[in-house]
Amino acid sequence: MGAGKRSLVATAVGLVCAVTVLSGAGTAFADPTPTLPPAPALPPGATLPPGAVLPPSVTLPPNRDLVAVQKRLEKLYHDAAVATDAYNAAEEQTERQSTEIVELAQEIAKGQKRLAELKDRAGAAARAQYRSGGLPPRARLWLSDDPQAWLDGVSRIRQGEKATEGLLAELTRTQQDLELYAQDATAQWQRLDTSRKARAAAQKKIKQQITAAENLESQLAKEEKERLAALEREAAARAQTSWLGSGILDDLDGNATAQGRKAVEFATAQVGKPYEWGAEGPGTFDCSGLTSAAWAAAGIPIPRTSQEQWAQLPHVDIKDMRPGDLIVYFDDASHIAMYVGDGKIVHAPRPGRTVTITGAGSMRILGVVRPGA
């Protein structure tokens, strides 16, 4: 969120807080705060300071088993990806709710101005009656001995009564609208507060998982790190070979749309840029940040997170896949990539890696979605 928008939100929040005394507390309906991972057990007799949370275990497995290390790293980075999706969703909610609070504050300001104008009109009418001696218009009319004045007065009284009724009705409606706006603002502020807490909790979990993974890798010797990287490449190659061997691409229709080509051109142009959780360019990306930025460059906005891209975009069969489609990975839709043709994807893999092109079958595929369908 930019500095100008934050300033506008702060101003709006001040106005909302001043007005929400008209209403009672609302109810928050934001998504629940993400659950932090279970912490390892403390040593006997040890205690944890209040508010402190132990990071996941980063001890090397017995005999420095690199296969076990690889699996542990995959788990840590997977959990970081899940937390990143939760962070991105909370960030998106925060921005949307902040915008809604600004809009509510603007409506409240307009309502207050209108209410002041109506009260001035009502006050003017009361002052006019006071200056006339305090007699109601009908009483002054009956005291008149001019027939024509009497007839004209009847017409004016009827018009005046209608105007007064309209004024009172508008006063009532404006006050009711202000009360509703105040109630909505209270509820929206509570939702915003919940989203901020969810974002902070997800951010904490991301940092914990990434730190644990980095600490684990730091315990390896140079030769072990090289062997671990080789194991990762071998596992990805085996998965890709198995996927291609299934014949899944034999009848693949690879004709991309014009917008799909633009999305692919954008995504592949980012190859080599670092992964960064929560980032959507231009210098760094996370997985869904890359896919959403690529399709935005093609003129089609899509949801920000991999889970929402999977949930909201139209699903297509793998056999109907074409360049520009998005391949969603793992049962929890925690990773997403863009298909570029010839059995390959472009994606932002994980912390410590850069945007790269690799085999589409190198990870466990959940399904395929198509923006702009």
Which one of the listed residues 17, 78, 315, 335 is annotated catalytic?
A: 335
Could you tell me whether strands 365-369 and 326-329 are parallel, antiparallel, or unpaired per DSSP bridges? antiparallel
d(CA 213, CA 97): 34
Q: For residues 242 and 255, what is the distance between their CA atoms, to the nearest angstrom?
A: 24
Q: How far apart are CA 274 and CA 272, in angstroms?
A: 6
CA distances for 244 relative to 51, 249, 337, 360, angstroms = 49, 7, 17, 9
Q: Which of 202, 234, 232, 215 is nearest to 81 (CA)?
A: 202
Which residues have C-beta within 8 Å of that of residue 129, sequence separation ≥ 6?
A: 135, 136, 137
Distance between start and end Cα atoms, the chain: 30
- Please say if 78 is a catalytic residue: no
Catalytic entry in 17, 78, 287, 315: 287
To the nearest 10°, report the CA torsion of 267, 237, 371, 315: -170
Which two structure tokens, joined as six digits, stand for 202? 């997800």
CB atoms within 10 A of CB 267: 29
Distance CA 17, CA 182 (A): 9
Backbone angles phi, psi at 16, to 5 degrees: -60, -45
Cβ-defined contacts of 214-223 (< 8 Å, 24+) = 214/351, 214/352, 215/55, 215/58, 216/58, 216/60, 216/69, 216/72, 216/73, 216/76, 217/73, 219/58, 219/60, 220/60, 220/64, 220/69
Task: Name the active-site residue from 17, 78, 315, 347.
Answer: 347
Contact 220, 228 (CB under 8 A): yes
Confirm whether 17 is a catalytic residue. Answer: no
DSSP 248-301: TTTT------HHHHHHHHHHHHTTTPBB-TT-BSSS-B-HHHHHHHHHHHTT--
Question: What is the C-alpha to C-alpha distance for residues 333 and 229, in angstroms, rounded to an integer?
Answer: 24
Query: Catalytic residue numbers?
Result: 287, 335, 347
